């Protein structure tokens, strides 16, 4: 059973539902003038959209499936994406 569970977790694919585009991100960040929000928006404009961020974020969050995905983990991964 442990081997099966390990296999399932290792091969789980994360995906995000819903339509997220650059305009939606701008709307979510409109009242946030933090350095992280400005840096993320700048990176997304440079990348010409959110698709690279979504793929990278899902891939990086996969490493946290065993220990848990929470707001702080997502925030840190988005910060790392922004700095890449």
Longest dimension (CA), the chain: 48
Angle (deg, nearest 10), helices 71-83 and 35-47: 50
Per residue in 13-59, pLDDT tens? 888 888 899 999 999 999 999 999 999 999 999 999 999 999 999 99
pLDDT beyond 90 at 77: yes
Instruction: Note if the pTM is more than 0.85.
Output: no
Other CB atoms closer than 10 Å to residue 28's CB: what's the count?
A: 12
Is residue 2 very low, low, confident or very high in pLDDT (cuts 50, 70, 90)?
Answer: confident
**Residue corresponding to tokens 């490493």:** 63
Cα gap 38→67, rounded to integer Å? 29
Q: What is the domain extent for residue 46?
A: 2-83
Q: How many domains would you assign to the chain?
A: 1
What is the predicted pLDDT for the residue at 34? 95
The three-state secondary structure class of 38 is helix
Q: What is the mean pLDDT of residues 48-72?
A: 92
pLDDT beyond 90 at 4: no
């Amino acid at each position: 059973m442990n081997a099966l569970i390990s296999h399932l977790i290792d091969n789980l694919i994360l995906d995000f539902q819903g339509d997220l585009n650059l305009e939606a991100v701008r709307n979510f960040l409109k009242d946030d003038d933090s350095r992280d929000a400005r840096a993320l928006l700048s990176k997304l404009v440079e990348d010409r959209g959110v698709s690279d961020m979504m793929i990278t974020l899902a891939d990086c969050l996969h490493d946290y499936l065993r220990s848990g995905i929470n707001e702080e983990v997502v925030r840190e991964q988005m910060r790392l994406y922004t700095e890449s």
